[in-house]
Structures are given as C-alpha cells and as structure tokens.
Amino acid sequence: DQQVKQNSPSLSVQEGRISILNCDYTNSMFDYFLWYKKYPAEGPTFLISISSIKDKNEDGRFTVFLNKSAKHLSLHIVPSQPGDSAVYFCAASVTGTASKLTFGTGTRLQVTL
C-alpha cells in the first residue's frame, strides 16, 4: 500500500522555466510534509517542508503548496537551473510518530539548457 505517491517518474523542463513536481497521499493522519532532493551516489538532502496548518511555504526559488482536501502537495521551482537536475522525493509524517517518514517513489527532474 503506497501511502505517498508521485505519479510522474520523470520531468524535463527548460532552464529558467518553472518546474512543478506533484505528490499525492492517502493517509489523512499525515500532518507534516517534506521534499528531498537526491543526486546520484549521495543521500537525500532536505529541501523544504510544510505543516498541515499551512497551505504554502516558500524558501527562495522553492515553494511547496499543500491542498489538504485533495491530499495533494506540489513543489514549485522558479526559475529552474541545471543544478536542480536530480531525483525529488516527497515524504510525509504523522506528529508523535517519532519522526517516521513515508516516502514517495520519486520524480527525476532534468533541467535542460
């Protein structure tokens, strides 16, 4: 049972344009959501997070949007840069579960020149 889903395995975007990565979840108990970026041969790197009490969180070029009614979140990267090319994982957690994270399957983003 995949509780966190990223239905697009890959995405290609031109440099300077917006990248939008999507994530859906099924467990209504999830109340904290995170995005990680992973380069080959490296561990995932924390990017940005959002609590369920918010619907938007912004950090520089990265913005995460949360739609609780749709159980959907998205990561926007504006403007996209070639260095953003990586695999992006969304993850979800339930408060009080000792930080246990449930990860999606990842979306490979390629930013082209």
Partner 1 sequence: SAVISQKPSRDICQRGTSLTIQCQVDSQVTMMFWYRQQPGQSLTLIATANQGSEATYESGFVIDKFPISRPNLTFSTLTVSNMSPEDSSIYLCSVDPGQGYEQYFGPGTRLTVT
- Which residue ranges make up the site for partner 1 (CB under 8 A)? 2, 4, 32, 34, 36, 41-46, 49, 89, 93, 98-106
Question: Between residues 20 and 101, which has the closer beta carbon with respect to partner 1?
Answer: 101
Least Cβ distance, residue 71 to partner 1 (angstroms): 17
Question: Between residues 18 and 29, which has the closer beta carbon with respect to partner 1?
Answer: 29
Least Cβ distance, residue 113 to partner 1 (angstroms): 27
Strand partners, 14: 112
Of 107, 80, 75, the residue nearest 17 (C-alpha): 80
Least Cβ distance, residue 80 to partner 1 (angstroms): 23
Q: Number of helices (H) and strands (E), helices first, in the chain?
A: 0, 11
Question: Between residues 39 and 55, which has the closer beta carbon with respect to partner 1?
Answer: 39
Least Cβ distance, residue 54 to partner 1 (angstroms): 14
Question: Between residues 4 and 80, which has the closer beta carbon with respect to partner 1?
Answer: 4
Q: Which residues contact 41 (CB under 8 A, 6 or more apart)?
A: none
